[in-house]
C-alpha cells in the first residue's frame, strides 16, 4: 500500500497573511510556467511552523509535478538513509530500508538520471548544514522543466547557500499574529469555528499570549486542555495559566515551546508517559511506524490493564489499547503524523526536535533509557540500564561501556556497523531486540546470531541488515516470541522451520526468497500437513519478500507451499508478498513471471489486507474465486494475467474494500466496466495498470 502524506485539518488555521502570500506567490510562479529550476528557502528559528508551511505547499502544488518527495534531514543526517528515502518516494515504490544503496544503484547520479526529463518537487526539511546540501544537490538536474526545491532551515547561511545567495528566494518565518494564535487555540479547544465562551476569554487570552505565537506550543497546550476527562472549566484554565506564569520565559522559541511541552508532559497519564519516553530509543529524525511501536509497547508490558483485567492475556485487546495510546499522543501533539492510509488512519509519525530534547531530559532524569550515542562525548551514563540504545552510526571503534550491567537490559536497540555489535547472548532477560546493522560490501562470514535461541523471555525480534546473518538452527525455545521481523535482512542463511511451534507468534515477516520447500523437506513430504504440524494458530500478519529470480529455482512450488500454509487459517488479517531488492517492474521488458491460481485456497474469514506485489515474480492467472468470500477485506493489491467482467463482479461484492490496485498483463477481450453505482461503495483509492494498454 502506498501511503500518502498526512495533512492536518487545522493546518490552514496556522497559515497567516504573510505565509498565505508566500504560498500564493509559489502557486502563481508555477502557473506562470517558469521553466528554470528554482530553489526556495524557508528560514526561521525552531517551532515557528516551517515544516507545516512546507507540507501545505507540498499538498497544494504537488499534483502539478511528474514526481515529488518530502525528506527530513536533521542535525546528524545519515546520507544513506536520505538517498534511500528520496529514491523510494520518487519511484513510488518501497525498497528494503537497509539494503545497500550501491548495490541497488541508489546514488545521486542515478537519481539525477531519473529526474533529468521530469518536472519534480522536492521538499528538504530541517537542513542544518550546507555540507549535506553540497552532497544531495547533485541529485537534482538543472533541466528546464519548471522543477522546484524547497528547503527549511534554522540557519541563515544554509538558507542563502541553497539559494545561491538570492535573498529574494528566502522566506523568513515569524511567530503567528494574535488573531491566528487565538484561532488556533480556540478551534482546538472548543471545536472548529467555535467562539471562546465569554467567561473563559480573559484567562484563555493570557495562556495564548504566553505561547508567544508559536504554533507547536499553542496547539499542544490547547490539546492538553481538550483531552481532560472533564469539561473545560475556569478553574483548570486558571491552573494552567498560573503554571505557565511560574516560568521565567526564555526568549528562545525552542526553549519557550519546551517549557509548554514540559507542563503538558507532567500531566500525562503514566502509561502515555512510558510509551512516549520509549521513542527516545531511536535516533533523532527517525520515522516511527505505528505497527512497530504498538508491538514494542506490548512486548514491554506498557499497557494499562486496570480497565480490562479479564482481558489481560488477550493480545488483541492489548494491541488495540496500544493503538489508542498512539492515537492519543498524536491528538495531544507530542508526535506528528506523517503518513496515513486510505481510511484516514495514521501509519507513521515523526517527533519534533524540541520534543526529542524533552524526552532525552526526562529519560535521563528517570533513568528510563540509557542511550550510548557515539557522536556525543562526555555524557555520564547510568550503569543500571533496563533499556539500552546503542547509536554507533558508522563508527568503527564504538563499544558498549564496560560499566553497564547487561543482564538487567530488557530492551536493546542497536544502530551501527555489525563489528561493533555486543554479544547478544549476554542480555539474558531481553524482551525487545531491534538490530539495524550495516557493513561493507566485502566478503565475510555471516554474523552469528545463534545466541538468540537462549533469550527465553524475548517477545519482539527485528533484524535489519545489509550484511549476511545466520540465525539459530532452532528457535522453538522462544516460547514468548510475538513478533519475528527479518524482511529487511535480504541475506539470511536460513530461517529455522521450527518457528511454526511458537505458540504466541502473531506477526511473522520473512526475508527475500525464504524457501518454504526447505521447511517441508525438514518435516514431511505432504505440503497440506505443514500447517497442522505447527501451533501458529494465533498468527495475524504474514509478510514475505520474493525476488524475480528466487535462488531455490522452484518459485511455483514455493508459492504453492505458501498457499497451503495460509489456506483456511482463521486468524490471519494481513498477507503481503512484496518484492526483493533486485526485481524488475511488471511492465519491464523480459520480466519473468510465475502464474499461480491458488484456486483451492480455503477462505480466510478475518483477512483485511492482501497484497501480492506486481514487481515480484508472481502473477495470478485471474482474480481467485475465494476472494469473494473475504467479507472483511479492505485493501487488495494484485497482479493478474487477464481481467474479465466476472473478476469485476467478484470485486464489487467486497463491501469493505477501500483500496484496490490492479495490474493486468493482457488487454481484456471484452469491455470492462467499474461502476460505483453497482458496488465499490466505500472505495477511496483505485489504480489500474495494464501492460498491453486498455
pLDDT digits (tens, 9 = 90+) for 414-473: 998 888 888 898 899 999 999 998 876 555 678 889 889 999 999 999 998 888 888 898
More confident residue, 565 or 351: 351
Can you tell me which residue has the cell 497559515? Answer: 15
What CATH architecture is 369-500? Alpha-Beta Horseshoe (3.80)
pLDDT score recorded for residue 632: 94
More confident residue, 281 or 229: 281
> Which ranges of 65-214 would DSSP assign to H, the alpha helix?
79-91, 108-115, 130-136, 156-162, 178-190, 201-210
pLDDT score recorded for residue 2: 34
Angle between helices 516-523 and 555-566 (to 10 degrees): 70
More confident residue, 114 or 634: 634
Residue 535 φ/ψ, nearest 5 degrees: -120, 25
Which of the residue ranges 10-24, 355-369, 423-437, 608-622 would you say has the lowest mean pLDDT? 10-24
More confident residue, 510 or 461: 461
pLDDT score recorded for residue 517: 60
Burial class of residue 592 (count of CB atoms within 10 Å of its CB; 0-12, 13-18, 19+): exposed
In this structure, the strands spanning 387-393 and 432-438 are unpaired
Q: Which has the closest alpha carbon to 551: 508, 509, 582?
A: 582
Which of the residue ranges 223-227, 284-288, 374-378, 405-409 would you say has the lowest mean pLDDT? 374-378
User: CB of 455 within 8 A of CB of 428?
Assistant: yes
Q: Which three cell numbers stand for residue 256?
A: 519557550
More confident residue, 556 or 168: 168
Q: Where are the beta strands (DSSP E) in 382-431?
A: 387-393, 411-417
Q: Which has the closest alpha carbon to 6: 41, 58, 48, 61?
A: 58
Beta bridge mates, 611: 576, 637
Measured distance CA(257)–CA(168) in Å, rounded: 29
Confidence of residue 525 (pLDDT cuts 50, 70, 90): very low
pLDDT score recorded for residue 637: 93
Residues 251-279, mean pLDDT to the nearest whole number: 91
Can you tell me which residue has the cell 526447505? Answer: 518
Measured distance CA(11)–CA(286) in Å, rounded: 23
Confidence of residue 233 (pLDDT cuts 50, 70, 90): confident
pLDDT score recorded for residue 545: 79
More confident residue, 546 or 348: 348
pLDDT score recorded for residue 97: 41
Residues 454-469: tens digit of each pLDDT: 999 999 999 988 888 8
Q: What is the CATH number of domain 17-172?
A: 3.40.50.300
pTM of the predicted protein model? 0.87
Class of domain 512-694: alpha beta
pLDDT score recorded for residue 581: 54
pLDDT score recorded for residue 596: 74
Burial profile 595-630: b = 16 or more Cβ within 10 angstroms, e = fewer: ebebeebebbeebbbbbbbbbbbbbbebbbbbbbbb
pLDDT score recorded for residue 315: 80
Amino acid at each position: 500500500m502506498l501511503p500518502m502524506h498526512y495533512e492536518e485539518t487545522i493546518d490552514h488555521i496556522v497559515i497567516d497573511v504573510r505565509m498565505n502570500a508566500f504560498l500564493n506567490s509559489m502557486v502563481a510562479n508555477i502557473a506562470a510556467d517558469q521553466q528554470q529550476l528554482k530553489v526556495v528557502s524557508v528560514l526561521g528559528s525552531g517551532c515557528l511552523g516551517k515544516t507545516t508551511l512546507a507540507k501545505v505547499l507540498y499538498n497544494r502544488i504537488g499534483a502539478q509535478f511528474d514526481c515529488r518527495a518530502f525528506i527530513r534531514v536533521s542535525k546528524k543526517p545519515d546520507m544513506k538513509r536520505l538517498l534511500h528515502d528520496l529514491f523510494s518516494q520518487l519511484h513510488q515504490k518501497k525498497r528494503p530500508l537497509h539494503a545497500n544503496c550501491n548495490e541497488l544503484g541508489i546514488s545521486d547520479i542515478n537519481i539525477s538520471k531519473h529526474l533529468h526529463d521530469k518536472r519534480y518537487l522536492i521538499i528538504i526539511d530541517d537542513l542544518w548544514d550546507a555540507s549535506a546540501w553540497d552532497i544531495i544537490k547533485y541529485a537534482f538536474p538543472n533541466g528546464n522543466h519548471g522543477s522546484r526545491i524547497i528547503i527549511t532551515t534554522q540557519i541563515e547561511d544554509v538558507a542563502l547557500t541553497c539559494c545561491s545567495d538570492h535573498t529574494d528566494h528566502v522566506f523568513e518565518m515569524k511567530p503567528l499574529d494574535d488573531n491566528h494564535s487565538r484561532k488556533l487555540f480556540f478551534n482546538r479547544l472548543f471545536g472548529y469555528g467555535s467562539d471562546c465562551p465569554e467567561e473563559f476569554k480573559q484567562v484563555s487570552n493570557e495562556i495564548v499570549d504566553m505561547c508567544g505565537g508559536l504554533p507547536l506550543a499553542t496547539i499542544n497546550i490547547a490539546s492538553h486542555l481538550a483531552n481532560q476527562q472533564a469539561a473545560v472549566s475556569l478553574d483548570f484554565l486558571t491552573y494552567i495559566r498560573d503554571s505557565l506564569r511560574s516560568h521565567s520565559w526564555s526568549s528562545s522559541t525552542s526553549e519557550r515551546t519546551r517549557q509548554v511541552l514540559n507542563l503538558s508532559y507532567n500531566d500525562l497519564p503514566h502509561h502515555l508517559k512510558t510509551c512516549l519516553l520509549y521513542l527516545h530509543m531511536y535516533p533523532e529524525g527517525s520515522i516511527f511506524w505505528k505497527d512497530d511501536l504498538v508491538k514494542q509497547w506490548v512486548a514491554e508490558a506498557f499497557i494499562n490493564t486496570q480497565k480490562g483485567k479479564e482481558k489481560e492475556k488477550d493480545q488483541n485487546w492489548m494491541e488495540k489499547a496500544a493503538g489508542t495510546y498512539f492515537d492519543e499522543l498524536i491528538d495531544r501533539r507530542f508526535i506528528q503524523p506523517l503518513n496515513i492510509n486510505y481510511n484516514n488512519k495514521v501509519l507513521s509519525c515523526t517527533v519534533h526536535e524540541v520534543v526529542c530534547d524533552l524526552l532525552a531530559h526526562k529519560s535521563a532524569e528517570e533513568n528510563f533509557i540509557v542511550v550510548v550515542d557515539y557522536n556525543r562525548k562526555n555524557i555520564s551514563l547510568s550503569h543500571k540500564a533496563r533499556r539500552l540504545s546503542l547509536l554507533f552510526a558508522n563508527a568503527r571503534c564504538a563499544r558498549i561501556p564496560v560499566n553497564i550491567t547487561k543482564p538487567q537490559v530488557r530492551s536493546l536497540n542497536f544502530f551501527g556497523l555489525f563489528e561493533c555489535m555486543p554479544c547478544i547472548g549476554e542480555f539474558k532477560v531481553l524482551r525487545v531486540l531491534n538490530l539495524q546493522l550495516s557493513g561493507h560490501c566485502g566478503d565475510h562470514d555471516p554474523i552469528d546470531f545463534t545466541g538468540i535461541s537462549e533469550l527465553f523471555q524475548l517477545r519482539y525480534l527485528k533484524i535489519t541488515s545489509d550484511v549476511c546473518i545466520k540465525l539459530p538452527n532452532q528457535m522453538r525455545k522462544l516460547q514468548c516470541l510475538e513478533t519475528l521481523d527479518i524482511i529487511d535482512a535480504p541475506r539470511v542463511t536460513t530461517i529455522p522451520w521450527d518457528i511454526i511451534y511458537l505458540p504466541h507468534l502473531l506477526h511473522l515477516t520473512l526475508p527475500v526468497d525464504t524457501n518454504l520447500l526447505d521447511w517441508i523437506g525438514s518435516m514431511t513430504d505432504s505440503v497440506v500437513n505443514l500447517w497442522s504440524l505447527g501451533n501458529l494458530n494465533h498468527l495475524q500478519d504474514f509478510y514475505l519478500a520474493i525476488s524475480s529470480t528466487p535462488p531455490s529455482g522452484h518459485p511455483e512450488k514455493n508459492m504453492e507451499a505458501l498457499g497451503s500454509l495460509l489456506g483456511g487459517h482463521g486468524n490471519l488479517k494481513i498477507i503481503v508478498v512484496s518484492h526483493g531488492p533486485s526485481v524488475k517492474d511488471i511492465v519491464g521488458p523480459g520480466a519473468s513471471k510465475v502464474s499461480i491460481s491458488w484456486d483451492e485456497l480455503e477462505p480466510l474469514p478475518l483477512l483485511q489486507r492482501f497484497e501480492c506485489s506486481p514487481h515480484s515474480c508472481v502473477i495470478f492467472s485471474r482474480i481467485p474465486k475465494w476472494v469473494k468470500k473475504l467479507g472483511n477485506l479492505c485493501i487488495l493489491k494484485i497482479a493478474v494475467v487477464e481481467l474479465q467482467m466476472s473478476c469485476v463482479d467478484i470485486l464489487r461484492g467486497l463491501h469493505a474494500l477501500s483500496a484496490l490496485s490492479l495490474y493486468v498483463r493482457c488487454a481484456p477481450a471484452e469491455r470492462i466496466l467499474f461502476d460505483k453505482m453497482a458496488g465499490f461503495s466505500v472505495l477511496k483509492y483505485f489504480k489500474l495498470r495494464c501492460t498491453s494498454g486498455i
